[in-house]
Chains A and B, each alone.
Chain A
Amino acid sequence: MKNQKAFFVDVNRCVGCYTCAMACKNTYQVEPGIAWRNLQSVEDPSFPHRDLAFYSLACNHCEKPACAAACPEKAIYKREKDGAVVIDIDKCTGEKKCITECPYGVPKFNQKTAQAEKCHMCYARQDAGKQPGCVQSCPTGALTLVNLAEKKEGAVSFPPGFKKTDIGPSTRFRLAKVPRIVRRNS
């Protein structure tokens, strides 16, 4: 896609503070029990320290979204302008096919509306010249929205623990460095 925007997750800058995840809830007053963005702790020998490195994850706004392909109502579309994958609520009948088919577990079922919902890249905020709520609130600049075509130094598509698929998730990552650690003599 020519105009694909993408979340760039700089795991090295990220302090795992969950600000992005809560900023998302704040922006849309998301129902308790549902999170459109969440953090995943990095569990990999490349960063052997528990709960101290994270991937901030929401919708990956894939090149070939499995959710859209699975939706029997064709309620999920991809915007030309920025590649955001959006659920059209007028068409969603709550069949949950997107939920079962998304390999990243992104769409969530809202019991109250009996429909699916997820991150839509805050496209309306973007259209109004603002950053997505998560990006604006990130206190360390670890989460940014970039043009996928723009090469970021050290960017990887499938870091350890992030599922490898062929549907073209747009999220990119930069891995965390480990500090030199001096433990106590004991």
Chain B
Amino acid sequence: MEKLKQKQMEKTLACNHSRRRFLQGLLATGVLATMPSGLLQPLLVEAKDLLNEAEYQIFRNACPRNCYDTCSIKSFVKDGVLQYVEGATESSFTAGGLCVKGNSYARQLYSPDRIKYPMKQIGRGSGNWKRISWDEALETISSKILEIKAKDDNLLGLGLTKYSGNFGITHYGVEGMMSSLGYTTRFVGTPCWPAGIDAQNYDTGSMWCNDPEDMVHSKYIIVWGANPAFCSVHTMKYIYEARERGAKVVVIDPLLTQTAAKADLYLQVAAGEDGALALGMARHLVDKQLVDREFVTRYALGYAEFEAYLKKNITVTWAAEKTGIPAAEIRQLAEEFARADPATIWIGYGMQRHVNGGANVRAIDALVAMTGNIGKTGGGARYGHLQTWGFNYHAMIQDKPAGSKGWLGKGGPMGEFHGASGDQQAKYRDRTVNINKIAQEILDTNDPPVRMLWVACKNVLSQDFDTNKIKRAFEKLELIVAVDLFFNPTVEQADIVLPTVTPFEDWTVNVSYWHYWLSLNEQAVKPLYETKTDIDIAAALSKKMNAKQPGSCTFPQEIDSKQWMEKEFNQGIYDLFGIDSWQQLRQGPVKAKLKSASFPDRKFLTPSTKYEFRSELAAANGHAALPEYKAGRKAYGPLRLLTPHSKFSLHSQFQNLDWMHDFNNEPFVYLHPQTAKSRGIKEGQLVRVFNKIGELSMKAKLTDNVPTDALLMYESWFGRKNNFNVNTLVDDESSDMGAFKTGAPGVAIHDQFADIAKA
């Protein structure tokens, strides 16, 4: 019977078996790696015989992209080929399903567009790539490193920019590789969420969100400046369940987002005026005596001063003027929120990407705190957490070569995961510069200048700010090495590209900054072509360096990536997750044994151990001690330009795949019909969007989802010869906070302005 079914299935799906067997034979002998990629596609990965899972080898993987959901994946492999993927059913969060991006993974792995071999480009941007051997690539790279050291008497001329392309813990081996070479220049900070991290640290001494799964217990949910319907699809089910149990769902956003469309109430706040709204609500709660007196007296510091500030400076009428939301709505919202128990606010990363983003997060935190919603299941000011990230960072922590010289100035490298490494204090340091101002930092940094740039887990030209300035800054660099999967805009400007792996060719371990699950990432298939993991690249470079100059690199020269994955575990992780060994993760992901509420005993990690409405630390770092109103950026153009996430991409990943183009093959600018009419723009027309730093053209779509004074474009790298890049129009203006915990302030990505005209 099974056989019959199988035959039926094969017939139904037109499986070409002889061809598949032929290709598998090639794969086994390694011949395939040297063949044109066309042969790999698409029949090699046909997943036909789905009748019996026992016929597959099932591996555990994790999506390592910079995403709330960090899905636990089950990979189905047959004959050494990944046939298809599924979400792990063992995780109640992933719950058996991935997203549009995760479901494209087999295509990413077997994409004909992947970078297959080390290559060098004769003339940046020329596209004149020549295949080279790993030996030649490493020879060029190591010679340059030694040349820099000889010229400058230190290695500060070697710069690293790396971010969130792969959050697998072993990928911190890239930082380890840099350390193993000497003191280098590090682009530090994060473009993502630093203003909010600092804000929450001033208020609570940490950043620690409740378990998102406990949102089902919320009676009132405000999703504020977040769009989980695009960016955390797996959280939507908890919001729905809360509503089914009687909760009200409110979305506050400048845009009528997909999440807003699913809410009970949508409030179109003026961009960047979130703080005014929160403070107006807070003032109303004071007037209505709806403040949780027990919380603000027993568990908080400085509430009386905050209340005095509100009474003196804030009125609901003022908040209505600032935000555009009628005063009656603000009053009703505040009262409903305060009377619901528990009530929660999800503070999105979008709403802190402003020059006053940190201040706005503090104002919202205060609203949650004064209603006594912190430390409660179903409550909380939810932003993110790092409670489950206590790995060894074995790959990251490497010794400097003896006699290394470095930077004598202040500061050292930091990132949002800073603190786990226990980096030793030394006389010399790495030189740190702001990751969010990469162009300006390269242009301004001298003595020595950054001569060579290593780019890993990052697509600078797509994701960093002021694209035109970055291109100018890159001209100052003597050698650019990019490690990547695809020929993206950064690789286009590189001298050497090193091919790296997808999660399915890698051993690592992953956790989320949102949910509480831990996932193993096994090597499901052998690395294709000549690709290498980040740590294998580091080992190969070390071998080369030491061959040329013994002792010049401390990174181990032979490594086993599976063993290095194992080395990231420790007893703390085992205890937190209630497992005895990492091997148990082969049975599926596990969840941290934490209470669902953060700060369950209402003990905070602030200097006072209380919730700090008044933060001396904030004051010492140049901010207001209280969560005061901070004005937004002055407009530098007629329309606000908003460039949030697309549902089809994770920053510059996934949208480039041909499969994604089957559903979304063209970028648009979205504007209000009124705005369009005043400029004579019609639906579908080709337009120019321009501001002081750049210009971009695309077609227009008219929609009143966008306010009349704004333009909307989703950030993405489309690939496939499309040069759309929103960061051509986004400058590198800093947000107010971020330097305290991540080493550099964030970026005011949503405080950008532009105009639009017919092309």
Contact of B236 among A33, A51, A125, A140 (CB under 8 A): A140
* Closest A residue to B703 using CB positions: A50
Q: Does residue B617 face the partner (Cβ distance < 8 Å to A)?
A: no
Q: Which residues of B contact A183 (CB under 8 A)?
A: 268, 324, 707
Inter-chain contact A182/B266, CB cutoff 8 Å: yes
Give bound CA distance, A184 to B253, whole Å.
11
- What per-residue 1/0 map shows which CB atoms of B638-672 lie under 8 Å from chain A? 00000000011000000000111111100000000
Nearest CB of chain B from residue A92's CB, rounded to whole Å: 8
Question: Contacts A136-B97, A139-B237; is A186 near B708 (CB within 8 Å)?
Answer: yes
Inter-chain contact B258/A138, CB cutoff 8 Å: no
Q: Does residue B563 face the partner (Cβ distance < 8 Å to A)?
A: no
Q: Does residue B148 face the partner (Cβ distance < 8 Å to A)?
A: no
Q: Does residue B693 face the partner (Cβ distance < 8 Å to A)?
A: no
Q: Does residue B698 face the partner (Cβ distance < 8 Å to A)?
A: no
Question: Contacts A89-B11, A182-B268; is A19 near B233 (CB within 8 Å)?
Answer: yes
With A15-B229, A50-B704 already in contact, 7 other A-B pairs whose C-beta atoms are closer than 8 Å = A17-B233, A29-B106, A34-B662, A52-B256, A133-B84, A137-B87, A184-B270
Give bound CA distance, A112 to B270, whole Å.
52
Question: Contacts A17-B233, A49-B705, A139-B237; is A186 near B84 (CB within 8 Å)?
Answer: no
Inter-chain contact B84/A29, CB cutoff 8 Å: yes
Inter-chain contact B662/A51, CB cutoff 8 Å: no
Give bound CA distance, A15 to B233, whole Å.
8
The 5 closest A-B pairs by CB, nearest first: A184-B324, A137-B97, A22-B103, A15-B229, A52-B261
Q: Does residue A162 face the partner (Cβ distance < 8 Å to B)?
A: no
**Count of A-B contacts judged by CB separation below 8 Å:** 198
Q: Determine the interface band of chain A, counting residues with CB < 8 A from chain B.
A: 35 or more
How many chain B residues have a CB neighbour from A under 8 Å?
Answer: 78
Inter-chain contact B12/A15, CB cutoff 8 Å: no
Q: Which of A1-40 contact B (CB under 8 A)?
A: 13, 15-19, 21-23, 25-29, 31-35, 38-39
Inter-chain contact B50/A125, CB cutoff 8 Å: yes
Nearest CB of chain A from residue B23's CB, rounded to whole Å: 13
Q: Which of B236-274 contact A (CB under 8 A)?
A: 236-237, 240, 251, 256, 258-270
Chain B: residues with CB nearer than 8 A to chain A?
5, 8-9, 11-14, 42-43, 45-48, 50-53, 83-87, 95-101, 103-107, 229-230, 233-234, 236-237, 240, 251, 256, 258-270, 320, 323-326, 329, 647-648, 658-664, 701, 703-705, 707-709
Inter-chain contact A16/B647, CB cutoff 8 Å: yes
Contact of A23 among B5, B45, B97, B234 (CB under 8 A): B97
Q: Which residues of B contact A138 (CB under 8 A)?
A: 97
Inter-chain contact A22/B258, CB cutoff 8 Å: no
* Closest A residue to B52 using CB positions: A128
Q: Does residue A153 face the partner (Cβ distance < 8 Å to B)?
A: no
Give bound CA distance, A129 to B682, whole Å.
51
Question: Contacts A27-B47, A179-B264; is A16 near B325 (CB within 8 Å)?
Answer: no
Q: Which residues of A contact B105 (CB under 8 A)?
A: 26
Give bound CA distance, A139 to B233, whole Å.
6
Q: Which residues of B contact A184 (CB under 8 A)?
A: 268-270, 323-325, 707
